Structure 1
Amino acid sequence: MAHRLRRGEGISWHAAEEGIHLIGSGDPGGLAYLGVAVHEPEGGLLGVVSLYLPGNRAALSPETRESLTLLAEVAGILLARRRSLQRAQAQAHRSRMLLQLT
């Protein structure tokens, strides 16, 4: 679920600023959080992929961290490609409209 927060609001901004953010209590009945920044290939921040798991920090294995990091990388690439495609489609539409006027 996408949710937009203002800059500095919520724990996701720690992930946005640090690249990856991991928190969790020592309580096994607590909640663990892992957030990974999603960047476009040029480096611009697109968002944060967040994962909440029941348990403490130990619930977030190195494999889970690596998987979420890879997901964030792929999401950044796909979102950037989608934006490029949308720009190209808009330009093609404008070009077609200009050709119809001539």
Structure 2
Amino acid sequence: MSTWDPAAPEALIEEATVDAYGEDEQLTGFFTMIEEGLAVPFTTTVLGVEVSVVGVDLVEDGRVVARCARGSVRQDIGILDLPLPEPVPEGWQWIEAYRHCPLNRRVAQLPG
């Protein structure tokens, strides 16, 4: 994976949430940064199957998901569960910053 500055998550978290009041707005801020920054489409492998990541979405349960496609089959995968390819797509840093965000711990604990 591309080089990653250990201080980078904090700066990106601040950028994504600077004008946010409350967790919903923080989540929307992160979704917006991922949606605008992540270069799609790109190809990756999920459970041994090559898929195309065609976009991202914010779903009702508060998760950011990757919209994956293989032929006519479509599947949403939690953005933090998505294996990134080598080389990583432009904008991958936003996914890593989201992974380090305290807000993400709350989303991970939502009932399934």
TM-score (norm 1): 0.23
TM-score (norm 2): 0.22
Relative contact order: is structure 1 or structure 2 higher (C-alpha 8 Å, sep ≥ 6)? 2
Greater helix content: 1
- The structure with the larger Rg is 1
